[in-house]
Amino acid sequence: MKRAVLVVLVLLIAAGGACWWLYRGVARPYKGYAADEQFVEIPQGSGSVAIAKRLADAGVVQDVNSFRLALWISGAGRRLQAGEYRFDRPMSARQVAEKIARGDVYVQPITFPEGLTVRQMASLYESKGYGDARTFIAAASKGELVQDVDPAAKDLEGYLFPDTYAFPRRATADQLIARMVAGTLKALTPELLATARARGLSTRQLVTLASIVEKETGNTAERQLVAAVYSNRLTIGMGLQCDPTVIYALERAGRYDGNLRRDDLQFDSPYNTYRYAGLPPGPIASPGRASLEAAASPAGVSYLYFVSKNDGSHAFATTLDEHNRNVQQYQVQYFRDQRRARGSR
């Protein structure tokens, strides 16, 4: 009898020790891969055993059983989420289980500032390692994505919302473009479109005017003033004479080298607002929300002109005489003083 009790006691102690060892294994950090980082893809619909095997094969957890025990202890078994996960340090099986239950998938951020063209965005897309610029341009050629708001759109110039986007490493250009278009459609609220329509602007004209505002100023306090200048010119049939539209026309023709010359103002393109009256045929960049709002609701001023003050702001004028005085002060005299200062050094 005593021997049977002793055997049971030994077995209980052994079982307890095994359980303690397994529990400690669940909590003990482990790194079984040699590289600095390891990626593991969890396919949609994968069961816990299949996930455990992927993690063990990748060296993220020590074995299948430790991960399954971690799921049982943490209660995370029913919350595991598909996606690609990045591991770059020793982690316990429980930490791994909780990471996958949180859906902490690996994504890379990419930021598109306001005022970029499709080609500039494509170049940025390629530089960040997402893919070839040509695939981005091809995805951005699908004007049908904005068909409901702009039936005339042949591509998505102006409709790719500037923002920061987080995407998995294997995200396609089409997926990114779809998110960017959705951002613009969200910004084009019914209230904003109604305000624009009340001023006689279609959605395409609104986005086009907003893109001009975006290219002309990054100064928040000036957006409505710049929008007012161009709106006032449109109202009286005065040429917009907007330098960014000429630059865009030259870029489309592969003729822009970073400098805008007087002769360029005569370049024959429907986007050249020095040669053709009214708005250009479409957006010249992607405007942000503030520029869209400014284009829909310009300031109630009579300005027809503005000139750079060389400090990020502009001097505005209603009459040509006033504008010429501003040009003399902020351009002619400014650069004359700059040359004089350099010559005295």
What pLDDT does 78 receive? 84
State whether 139 and 51 are in the same domain. Answer: no
User: Which helix H or strand E contains 42, and what residues bound it?
Assistant: strand 38-42
Residue 340 lies in a domain: no
54 contacts: CB under 8 Å, gap ≥ 6: 40, 41, 42, 46
Q: Of 46, 72, 102, which one is at a domain's C-terminal end?
A: 102
Alpha helices in the chain (DSSP H): 2-27, 48-57, 64-74, 93-102, 118-127, 133-139, 173-187, 190-198, 203-216, 223-236, 243-252, 289-296, 320-327, 333-343
List the CATH number of the domain containing 48: 3.30.1490.480
User: How far is residue 16 from each of residues 2, 19, 331, measured CA to CA in Å?
Assistant: 21, 5, 85
Q: Answer whether 35's CB lies under 8 Å from 58's CB.
A: no
State whether 144 and 176 are in the same domain. Answer: yes
State whether 195 and 299 are in the same domain. Answer: yes
Q: Answer whether 212's CB lies under 8 Å from 244's CB.
A: yes
10-residue mean pLDDT profile of the chain (345 residues): values are: 48 44 70 94 93 96 92 86 94 94 92 97 93 96 96 97 91 95 97 97 98 95 97 97 96 93 94 96 98 98 96 95 95 77 67
**Residues composing the chain:** 345
Domain limits for position 292: 189-303
Q: If 0-12 CB within 10 Å is exposed, 13-18 middle and 19+ buried, where does residue 2 land?
A: exposed
The whole-model pTM stands at 0.82
- Nearest of 331, 205, 121, 257 to residue 213 by alpha carbon: 205
State whether 205 and 252 are in the same domain. Answer: yes
What pLDDT does 21 receive? 45
State whether 148 and 176 are in the same domain. Answer: yes
State whether 175 and 276 are in the same domain. Answer: no
Q: To the nearest 10°, the Cα dihedral for 220, 334, 320, 238?
A: -50
Residue 266 lies in a domain: yes
User: How far is residue 101 from each of residues 57, 69, 74, 130, measured CA to CA in Å?
Assistant: 19, 14, 10, 27
Tokens matching residue 85: 């996960």
Nearest-angstrom CA–CA distance, 305 and 303: 6
State whether 120 and 158 are in the same domain. Answer: yes
Residue 316 lies in a domain: no
Nearest-angstrom CA–CA distance, 279 and 205: 7
What pLDDT does 12 receive? 44
- Nearest of 3, 94, 12, 4 to residue 55 by alpha carbon: 94
State whether 292 and 205 are in the same domain. Answer: yes
- Nearest of 52, 30, 31 to residue 42 by alpha carbon: 52
Q: Of 138, 160, 187, which one is at a domain's C-terminal end?
A: 187
Residue 180 lies in a domain: yes
State whether 80 and 150 are in the same domain. Answer: no
Secondary structure letter of residue 148 according to DSSP: T
State whether 260 and 215 are in the same domain. Answer: yes
- Nearest of 223, 203, 277, 211 to residue 247 by alpha carbon: 211
What pLDDT does 13 receive? 47
Residue 19 lies in a domain: no
Our count of domains for the chain comes to 3
What pLDDT does 25 receive? 60
What pLDDT does 77 receive? 78
